[in-house]
Amino acid sequence: MPALSQVVTDSSEAMSIKYNTKVYELKQRGKKVLVMSLGEAYFDIPLFPMEDLPYPEVNHYSHSRGIVELRVKLAEYFASEYDVRFDVDKEIIVTAGSKAAIHMTLMSILNPGDEVVYSEPAWVSYPEQIKLCYASPVGIPYEKSVYEYEAYITPKTKAIIINNPHNPRGYVFSQAELEHLLEIGRRHDLWILSDEAYSDFLIDGSFVSLGRLDPDKRNAVIFNSMSKNYGISGWRIGYAIANQRLIDNVLKVNQHLITCPATILEWYLARHFHSLLEITKPQIRDVVCKRKQLAEYMDQLGLTYLPGAATFYFFVSIAPSRLTSEEFCTRLLEEDLISVVPGAGYGASCDRFVRVSVGTASLEENQFGLRRIQALIQRTS
């Protein structure tokens, strides 16, 4: 039989998707599962009219940077919400989700053998995407702060990836921490990739986009997405903002892989940009408030989690249990019909944790799920 690529063969399945697939299979067998593993919050969003979109233009390939009407809307939003400015013709590319934007950016900056540093718990795709670019992922153990990252930089390091606000910690980086990262970037000539897919999922105004602190975009690269902030993950629209040199490279990769995002969706989003935000913003607020209530509930139960107040995730410690995080999640699913994601999928230092997403179930259902997690820890410690 002809051989396969070793790099792809060796890459791991996304742990979150693996557990969500188990949920789909259980549901198909008629089981009622309490889902605390999904990487999104569900919003109530109407379908706006599509008849007035420019037809037949919507049926065809668009500009491979994304239609300018959507780029302009995003530029206005970034200026007003995050105090970040970019040139809509040179410094942004809209593509099929931020996952693709991150991968194409890694392809655009990495050479075989380079290293990319990121902190654990790390979003499941960072290490695999780095490996798919023939480079080496360097995960920093979860207990290290930004001020300790420099110890992980070698002459081979090309970039640092951060996720702000953080999935699954819910942590928001302070301006001082971001400035420190940029300083490391300048000193070692590194790209600082800031994945900001959850930028609106907080209620205290503490979010600072890395783009605001590097207005010339010398080192900073920003990724964001319509998936989470607009509640339309299935539409696959995300984007990268960076200096022209880098975006020109990403554009070439995009042209050869994807051509452009789905034109009809770009038009729909450009037309209904503000109406969508008006509908999703209050719902985002509700989700983050629910997270706050659940944090207080876990404090009462005696469950511990890594500090953070944003997003709709928690990275919950299962430390007293003698099970690995995979064994823990499998038993929780089989015995209690509750799905959460094993911490092991988020890095070598994270096997004493599980990721809990409170985005799709109600407050009461989540409270029930947390009690069952607590009970399983007790049963197995």
- Interface residues toward ligand PLP, by CB under 6 A: 39, 97-99, 123, 163, 167, 195, 197, 225, 227, 233, 238
Nearer to ligand PLP, 167 or 219 (CB): 167
What would the 3-class secondary structure string for the chain be?
A: CCCCCHHHHHCCCCHHHHHHHHHHHHHHCCCCCEECCCCCCCCCCCCCCCCCCCCCHHHCCCCCCCCHHHHHHHHHHHHHHHCCCCCCCCCEEEECCHHHHHHHHHHHHCCCCCEEEEECCCCCHHHHHHHHCCCEEEEECCCCCHHHHHHHCCCCEEEEEEECCCCCCCCCCCHHHHHHHHHHHHHHCCEEEEECCCCCCCCCCCCCCHHHHCCCCCCEEEEEEHHHHCCCHHHCCEEEECCHHHHHHHHHHHHHHCCCCCHHHHHHHHHHHHHHHHHHHHHHHHHHHHHHHHHHHHHHHCCCECCCCCCCEEEEECCCCCCCHHHHHHHHHHHHCEECEEHHHHCHHHCCEEEEECCCCCHHHHHHHHHHHHHHHHHCC
Residue 38 Cβ vs ligand PLP, minimum distance, rounded to whole Å? 9
**Would you tell me how many other CB atoms lie within 10 Å of the CB of residue 68?**
16
**Shortest Å distance, C-beta 183 to ligand PLP:** 24
Closer of 217 and 228 to ligand PLP (Cβ): 228
- Least Å distance, CB 302 to ligand PLP, is 28
Q: How far is the CB of 323 from ligand PLP (least distance, A)?
A: 25
Pick between residue 225 and residue 243 the one whose CB is nearest to ligand PLP: 225
Nearer to ligand PLP, 195 or 266 (CB): 195
CB-wise, 34 or 100, nearer to ligand PLP? 100
Shortest distance, position 46 Cβ to ligand PLP, whole Å: 21
Q: How far is the CB of 199 from ligand PLP (least distance, A)?
A: 11
Is the CB of 14 or the CB of 246 nearer to ligand PLP? 14
CB of 275 to ligand PLP, least distance (A): 21
Residue closer to ligand PLP by CB (options 167, 349) is: 167
